[in-house]
Amino acid sequence: MGKVLVEKLLWSCSDIKNIYLLMRPKRGHDVNARLVELLNAPLFERLRRERPNQLNKIVPIHGDITEPELGISVSDQQVLANNVSVVFHSAATVKFDEALKLSVTINMLGTKRLLHLCHTMTNLEVCTSLCRPFLNILYVISLYFL
């Protein structure tokens, strides 16, 4: 879901100065290598072809939602505190068989840590969390408009 949001923001909001992406190293790839891999995905083909300069607005931030302070360096925390005005939180685990401790760390503590960081952002206007469609629906409510 996060990749689609990034593409849509870059395509639709040309006045965005930067998009800071919290990324963690994975499978032996550092965040810069992972960013290159992300931008080579078919999803970004239209931007690569028609507005390649928009892709330069993505700034990878080395971090990890499971770590204290989100694993973000003090200098990167300061950059975020001074420059971010909108936060989209989409980091979560949606594995139904995930260990409970890890699920709580990612989904609850990660959100708490992010909100703590948001409180330092001097230009923050919006902080929103992208929810996954995995809900336990007990009732179906139908609305009819006459």
Q: Sign (positive/negative) of CA torsion 91, 97, 103, 107?
A: positive
For 11, the domain range is 1-62
Tell whether the model's pLDDT for residue 141 goes beyond 60. Answer: no
Which pLDDT score is estimated for 122?
97
pLDDT of the residue at 63: 95
Degrees, nearest 5: CA angle 66-29-20: 60
pLDDT tens-digit series, residues 9-37: 999 999 999 999 999 999 889 999 999 99
pTM value is 0.82
Is residue 57 located within the same domain as residue 82?
no
Say how many domains are in the chain. 2
* One domain, residues 89 and 58: no
Q: Let me know: does 132 contact 94? Beta carbons within 8 Å.
A: yes
For the beta carbon of residue 124, count every other beta carbon within 10 angstroms: 16
Residue of 103 and 117 predicted with greater confidence:
117
